[in-house]
C-alpha cells in the first residue's frame, strides 16, 4: 500500500499534509482512488466555507461511483485545486500530489487525532477482511 509516512490520514480515506504556510492540503488516498476507479469529476468545496471536522465538503466521481469527501479537521477552505477541473484523472495518477482543497485549520490540536500511515493501513486491512 502506497502510504507516505509524512502524511496524516482519516478513517474516511482522506490524506492531510501540513504545508509550510500553516495550511493543510487534503486529498484522497491511493487506496481510495484505486477503489473508485477512473475518476471523471471532482466537485470541490467553495473557498471561504467554514467546515466542521467530519463535514461533507466535496465529491469525487468515478465512472462507477460517487464518493463524498469529509473535512478531516475543522477549518476554513482557503484554496481548491483548479487543475482538477480539467484533469480529474490526476488523482488516479498521483493521489498524493493531486490535492483537492486546502484548509486553514480551526484547531491545531485536532491534527493530532488523525491517523498515521500505520494506523490507516490497519483500518484498510480491517475493512478488507
**Which residues sit at the interface with other proteins, rule CB under 8 A?**
41, 43, 46, 61-66, 68
**CB distance 59 to 67 below 8 Å:** yes
Closer of 41 and 125 to other proteins (Cβ)? 41
Torsion from C-alpha of 52, 38, 36, 34, nearest 10 degrees:
-110
Q: Which of 117, 107, 120, 114 is nearest to 51 (CA)?
A: 107
Closer of 88 and 105 to other proteins (Cβ)? 88
Q: Which of 87, 75, 71, 80 is nearest to 38 (CA)?
A: 87
> Alpha-carbon distance 5 to 84, whole Å?
24
CB of 66 to other proteins, least distance (A): 4
CB of 43 to other proteins, least distance (A): 7
CB of 74 to other proteins, least distance (A): 20
Task: Indicate the SS3 state at residue 27.
Answer: strand
CB of 61 to other proteins, least distance (A): 5
Amino acid at each position: 500500500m502506497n502510504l507516505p509516512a509524512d502524511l496524516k490520514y482519516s478513517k474516511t480515506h482522506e490524506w492531510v499534509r501540513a504545508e509550510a504556510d500553516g495550511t493543510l492540503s487534503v486529498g484522497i488516498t491511493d487506496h481510495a482512488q484505486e477503489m473508485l476507479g477512473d475518476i471523471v469529476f471532482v466537485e470541490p468545496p467553495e473557498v471561504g466555507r467554514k467546515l466542521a471536522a467530519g463535514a461533507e465538503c466535496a465529491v469525487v466521481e468515478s465512472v462507477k461511483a460517487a464518493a463524498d469527501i469529509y473535512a478531516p479537521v475543522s477549518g476554513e477552505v482557503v484554496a481548491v485545486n483548479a487543475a482538477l477541473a480539467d484533469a480529474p484523472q490526476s488523482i488516479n495518477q498521483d493521489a498524493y500530489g493531486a490535492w483537492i482543497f486546502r484548509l486553514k485549520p480551526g484547531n491545531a490540536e485536532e491534527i493530532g487525532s488523525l491517523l498515521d500511515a500505520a494506523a490507516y493501513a490497519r483500518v484498510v486491512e480491517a475493512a478488507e477482511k
